[in-house]
């Protein structure tokens, strides 16, 4: 059994719960410690086993340090991400024994969940997404990608439940009030996936093994939940795929808990 629940997802903060009967993990902790505790209480989870960080940007790590200090939780991050934290103090002081390194493309067992971090193209030190396996089931979190690499595409196949970035509507971004440099960053090869890019990815990888797809990390400025959902659903339908189990992860509150 695996349980999967985005606790919040968007440019204002990201945190996903993934758990088995024995092991309970957070992928990112970009909310305040208080909000994370409240979100976990609302889904009846109290004993977190560790925090997996994708990269060092504040909307993914702002509550990581305080959760580690308050509950003695190990934090897992790539070597270069840890170098950034230790150089800049982004997440505050974390006990040395709780600083866990995770190497991209190497499987690591945390409790009874096998974790595989995979490299993604984003403007951070050493950003990754995650595939998590337990009992023949697979969950995945893949956001903050400028484009979809062949490796990412291959790893996301046959995933049972996933959160995929659907950050922006290209027209809204191009016509919006962001300065030109920021627009280019978002649309660049180390930026974020658009709704169309998310739909194209899912049209390639979605199959009968996929129980639920969450669209996540939506821009508050350059996207809307219904636009993201309509765009992705239209692309899936155009490719002969009719998925009713696609939803948009809530920006501020826990989304539906998916149990597989």
Q: What is the pTM of this model?
A: 0.97
Residue 160 is predicted with a pLDDT of: 96
Residue 207 is predicted with a pLDDT of: 85
Residue 254 is predicted with a pLDDT of: 98
Longest dimension (CA), the chain: 51
Number of domains in the chain: 1
Residue 238 is predicted with a pLDDT of: 93
The list of the chain residues with pLDDT below 70 reads: none
Main-chain dihedrals φ then ψ at residue 6, nearest 5 degrees: -65, 120
User: Any idea what the CATH number is for the domain that residue 90 is in?
Assistant: 3.60.15.10
Residue 241 is predicted with a pLDDT of: 80
> Whole domain around residue 221: which residue ranges?
3-259
Residue 208 is predicted with a pLDDT of: 83
Residue 92 is predicted with a pLDDT of: 95
In angstroms, rounded to a whole number, what is the distance separating the alpha carbons of residues 47 and 67? 12
Main-chain dihedrals φ then ψ at residue 133, nearest 5 degrees: -120, 140
In angstroms, rounded to a whole number, what is the distance separating the alpha carbons of residues 122 and 144? 6
> Which of 138, 104, 118, 141 is CA-nearest to residue 26?
141
Q: Rounded to an integer, what is the distance from CA 121 to the centroid of its chain?
A: 14
Residue 206 is predicted with a pLDDT of: 86
Could you tell me whether strands 128-134 and 113-119 are parallel, antiparallel, or unpaired per DSSP bridges? antiparallel
């Amino acid at each position: 059994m695996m349980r999967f629940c985005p606790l919040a997802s968007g440019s204002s903060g990201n945190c996903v719960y993934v758990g088995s009967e024995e092991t309970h993990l957070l992928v990112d902790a970009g909310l305040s410690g208080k909000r994370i505790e409240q979100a976990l209480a609302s889904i009846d989870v109290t004993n977190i086993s560790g925090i997996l960080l994708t990269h060092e940007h504040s909307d993914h790590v702002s509550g990581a340090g305080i959760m580690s200090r308050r509950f003695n939780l190990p934090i897992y991050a790539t070597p270069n991400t840890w170098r950034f934290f230790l150089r800049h103090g982004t997440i505050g002081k974390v006990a040395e024994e709780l600083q866990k390194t995770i190497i991209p493309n190497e499987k690591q067992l945390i409790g009874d969940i096998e974790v595989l971090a995979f490299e993604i193209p984003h403007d951070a030190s050493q950003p990754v997404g995650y595939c998590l396996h337990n009992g023949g089931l697979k969950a995945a979190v893949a956001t903050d990608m400028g484009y979809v690499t062949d490796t990412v595409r291959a790893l996301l196949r046959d995933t049972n439940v996933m959160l995929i970035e659907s950050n922006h509507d290209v027209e809204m971004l191009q016509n919006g009030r962001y300065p030109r440099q920021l627009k280019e960053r978002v649309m660049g090869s180390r930026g974020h996936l658009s709704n169309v890019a998310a739909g194209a990815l899912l049209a390639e990888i979605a199959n009968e093994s996929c129980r639920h797809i969450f669209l996540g990390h939506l821009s508050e400025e350059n996207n809307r939940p219904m636009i993201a959902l309509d765009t992705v659903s239209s692309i899936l339908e155009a490719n002969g795929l009719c998925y009713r189990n696609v939803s948009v992860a809530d920006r501020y509150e826990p989304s539906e808990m998916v149990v597989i």
